[in-house]
């Protein structure tokens, strides 16, 4: 197993992750909306600043008849009417974060994102490439879709186990701005976050929600990498693309991003809430999912879908287009 695929995948993932980090932060904030431990019923004074009323967010799926609005972040104006609430979009959420926390808040936790991509994405993409080479029929060059999915499942599981500590730190750092001032963690960096998590909650807390992370990573990697390879092969075989064409890479990666986002969103919501929760908030992933559905309805598992799609689409496009360019640059380099 060569080191080159790991380096190529890691470099491409770091670039894609850093560029799309604000979209991921908005997704996390929206997935945490309505979480029972932070609801207004239980925490009527849960504001991010003193004496500021709370401004509700619109649930991301825009199904007002199915999902009620929930309060998350402060505003200097009174809570808007129902019609105003329905106008809140991921863009409005981002604008509100900039207004209340400053532009830099959109990059809260970016150091954790970089570390996560170095560990998680480099590992999963390197292992997928290794399995792809191993399992491709040498006579026909055939790599069936089912085999692609199997390779993605294995690669995602290993990559997730390696990257889970950075994932926990990233979620904590991204969600910090929605906590009351007295409860904010104010991590200085991903290293500070991990060190403090270990000191106060134990080493095992770095793998909190790891079962969910592993399952999510398996779904994302299998759907993302398998879809990309399969769509690209279909386009090339049908004469609608070329192996080295950026248009081919962009189209295949966009399709992969959509499939990965839709497939992984429910488990991603539960994962985010588990990682952000204080100890003993949930009895486990199933308990978290049951409480979420019971308190907010089944469509709560698709909170954050729009920012997930708008993040996964660009992320996956940047990831694979960059990866293909890096592969081209390093094709004659041996290590």
Q: Residue 88: its pLDDT value, please?
A: 58
- Is residue 333 helix, strand or coil? coil
What Cα–Cα distance (Å) separates residue 329 from each residue in 15, 251, 323, 326, 332?
16, 21, 10, 5, 8
Q: What percent of the chain has pLDDT over 70?
A: 82
Mean pLDDT, residues 139-148 taken together: 93
Rounded (10°) CA dihedral 72, 75, 77, 78: 20
Distance CA 36, CA 47 (A): 15
CATH of span 4-43+108-329 = 1.50.40.10
Mean pLDDT, residues 5-15 taken together: 96
Task: Quick: pLDDT tens for 30-78.
Answer: 877 766 544 334 444 333 333 333 333 333 333 332 233 333 334 343 4
Residue 84 has pLDDT above 90, yes or no: no
Domain ranges of the chain: 4-43+108-329
Distance CA 17, CA 241 (A): 26
Question: How large is the angle between the packed helices 305-329 and 4-19, nearest 10 degrees?
Answer: 140
Q: Residue 1: its pLDDT value, please?
A: 63
Task: Quick: pLDDT tens for 215-249.
Answer: 989 999 999 999 999 999 999 999 988 988 999 99
Residue 272's nearest CA partner among 58, 25, 15, 57 is 25
Question: 23-61 burial, b if ≥16 CB within 10 A, otherwise e?
Answer: bbbbbbbbbbbbbbebbeeeeeebbbeeeeebbbbbbbb
Q: Residue 258: its pLDDT value, please?
A: 92
Q: Residue 260: its pLDDT value, please?
A: 93
Which of 120-124, 148-152, 174-178 shows the lowest mean pLDDT across its residues?
Answer: 174-178
Do 245 and 261 meet the contact criterion of CB atoms below 8 Å apart?
A: no
Could you tell me the maximum CA-CA distance found in the chain, to the nearest angstrom? 71
Do 241 and 247 meet the contact criterion of CB atoms below 8 Å apart?
A: yes
Q: Residue 279: its pLDDT value, please?
A: 64
Distance CA 234, CA 297 (A): 39
Residues contacting 111, CB < 8 A, separation 6+: 173, 189, 190, 191
Q: Can you tell me which residue has the tokens 């992933």?
A: 285
> Which ranges constitute the DSSP H helices of the chain?
4-19, 21-31, 82-85, 90-101, 110-116, 122-135, 145-175, 190-201, 210-237, 246-276, 285-296, 305-329
Mean pLDDT, residues 241-266 taken together: 92
């Amino acid at each position: 197993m060569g080191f080159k695929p790991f380096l190529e995948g890691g470099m491409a993932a770091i670039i894609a992750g850093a560029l799309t980090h604000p979209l991921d932060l908005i997704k996390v904030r929206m997935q945490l909306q309505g979480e029972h431990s932070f609801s207004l019923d239980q925490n009527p004074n849960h504001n991010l600043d003193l004496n500021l009323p709370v401004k509700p967010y619109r649930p991301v799926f825009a199904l007002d008849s199915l999902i009620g609005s929930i309060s998350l972040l402060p505003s200097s104006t009174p809570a808007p009417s129902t019609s105003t609430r329905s106008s809140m979009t991921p863009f409005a959420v981002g604008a509100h974060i900039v207004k209340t926390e400053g532009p830099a808040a959109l990059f809260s936790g970016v150091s954790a994102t970089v570390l996560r991509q170095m560990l998680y994405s480099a590992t999963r993409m390197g292992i997928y490439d290794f399995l792809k080479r191993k399992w491709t029929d040498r006579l026909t060059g055939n790599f069936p879709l089912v085999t692609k999915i199997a390779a993605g499942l294995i690669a995602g599981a290993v990559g997730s186990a390696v990257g889970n500590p950075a994932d926990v730190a990233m979620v904590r750092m991204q969600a910090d701005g929605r906590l009351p001032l007295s409860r904010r963690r104010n991590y200085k960096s991903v290293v500070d976050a991990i060190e403090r998590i270990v000191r106060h909650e134990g080493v095992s807390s770095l793998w909190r929600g790891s079962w969910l992370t592993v399952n999510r990573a398996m779904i994302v990697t299998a759907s993302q990498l398998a879809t990309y390879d399969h769509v690209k092969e279909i386009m090339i075989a049908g004469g609608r693309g070329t192996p080295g064409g950026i248009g081919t890479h962009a189209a295949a990666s966009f399709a992969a991003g959509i499939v990965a986002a839709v497939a992984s969103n429910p488990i991603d919501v539960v994962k985010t809430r588990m990682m952000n929760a204080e100890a003993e908030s949930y009895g486990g992933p199933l308990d978290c999912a049951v409480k979420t559905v019971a308190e907010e309805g089944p469509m709560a598992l698709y909170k954050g879908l729009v920012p997930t799609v708008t993040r996964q689409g660009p992320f996956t496009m940047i990831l694979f287009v960059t990866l293909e360019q890096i592969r081209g640059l390093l094709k004659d380099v041996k290590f």
